[in-house]
Amino acid sequence: MIKKTKILASVIILAMVVVAVIWAFTSTNVQNQEPLKIGVIVYPGFAPFFIADEKDFFEKEDVNAEVVLINDPNQAISLLESNQVHLLFSSADFTAIISDAGVDMKEIFASDIGYGSDGLLVKDDVNDISDLKGKTVYLGMGYPSHFLFRYLTKQAGLKNDDVTLIDMGADQVGAAFVAGQIDYGMSWEPWLSQASEREDGKLLFSSKDEPGIITDTFVIRTNTLNSRNEDVKAVVRAWFDSIDFINSNPSEANSIMAKNMGLSVADFEAQASTIKFLSYQENLNKFNKATSLNLYDLTDKAIEIYTEDGILQGEVSIENIIDSSVLNSLYN
């Protein structure tokens, strides 16, 4: 009996050693693996990744990931292309531009939709989108506000040559409009709320009137998706853990995101009110061709618009861009 007890004890000890070795190897392997670098800009729709970092959701998923703040959005594509970031913020329309630049990547999940983030400032002589025919409109060419504007003007029956477009940044548009230097332009907050400060100025429409046309997303280098598929899934699961945390702990979540974006909580909450984070199920819907404003339809429309407006130089294939495999197998 004593001999059997000693054998059993030895087996238990051996099992514990094996488990400890496996755990140590796995932990070391995760830490030694090159971090998946996630490129984001100062925009509330991408800020949940800061929660994943601070609340150890990456660690929970056993993945080595690093959030990289990109101060100059114009460098974003080159950072992805040169492998300085592996996962990059995007949008349904911007993904077509990344692909046109020759970057081999896939769009794998959607972070949020615009819910008042972008809008059109006009003089009071314009009461309907169709009234813009023959006008000059200032906006950031190749940005979501450009896509939103052209998407809605197309719906209203205006052709690309019915309106003259002048490239100008959103903040510059807002300031110039309020100062009376320009009469029509796409901008964002706080300028949308300040439109009425100009005596003859107003907000004609915003993305809140047509939520879902502006859909923000994340893309990943195709070789990274193939070589580190499980790590990529872990990062995306950490993202949805962060969305759950925002829903259950909004005050703490806003504080974390505001701090990492260099904003006061009040300023962050004001910006965050213009977007809506998407749940896992809403993501599945965005990648479903049968649903309204799905990523396939939005990207197809973006390719059409940006080709007409001279933003795209080559042919872009939707099927080579959008990849639902990560979402479809995320919790299997």
Q: Where are the domains of the chain?
A: 33-114+213-328, 118-206
The model's pTM is 0.88
Instruction: Report the C-alpha gap between 309 and 177 in whole angstroms.
Output: 23
Tokens at 178, concatenated: 């309020």
Looking at residue 69, its pLDDT comes to 95
Nearest residue to 203 (alpha-carbon basis) of 173, 163, 158: 173
> First-to-last CA distance in the chain?
45
pLDDT, tens digit (0-9, with 9 covering 90-100), for 267-314: 999 999 999 999 999 999 999 999 999 999 999 999 999 999 999 999
| Single-letter amino acid code for the residue at 258 | A
Give the pLDDT band (50/70/90) at residue 332: confident
Maximum CA extent, the chain = 98
Rounded mean pLDDT, 192-205:
94
Nearest residue to 143 (alpha-carbon basis) of 97, 204, 190: 97
Q: Is the pLDDT of residue 245 over 80?
A: yes
Looking at residue 217, its pLDDT comes to 98
Domains 33-114+213-328 and 118-206 alike in fold: yes
Q: Domain 118-206 has what CATH class?
A: alpha beta
Q: What percent of the chain lies above the pLDDT cut of 70?
A: 90
CATH superfamily of 33-114+213-328: Periplasmic binding protein-like II (3.40.190.10)
pLDDT, tens digit (0-9, with 9 covering 90-100), for 165-184: 999 999 999 999 999 999 99
pLDDT, tens digit (0-9, with 9 covering 90-100), for 13-59: 444 444 444 444 444 444 447 999 999 999 999 999 999 999 999 99
| Residue 310, CA distances (Å) to 10, 101, 304, 320 in order | 73, 13, 10, 21
Give the pLDDT band (50/70/90) at residue 319: confident
Q: Which helix (H) or strand (E) holds 301?
A: helix 295-308
Instruction: Report the C-alpha gap between 114 and 23 in whole angstroms.
Output: 43
Q: Is 4 exposed, middle or buried (0-12, 13-18, 19+ CB in 10 A)?
A: exposed
The rounded mean pLDDT for the chain is: 91
Q: What percent of the chain lies above the pLDDT cut of 90?
A: 87
Reduced to 3 states, what is the DSSP secondary structure of residue 50? helix
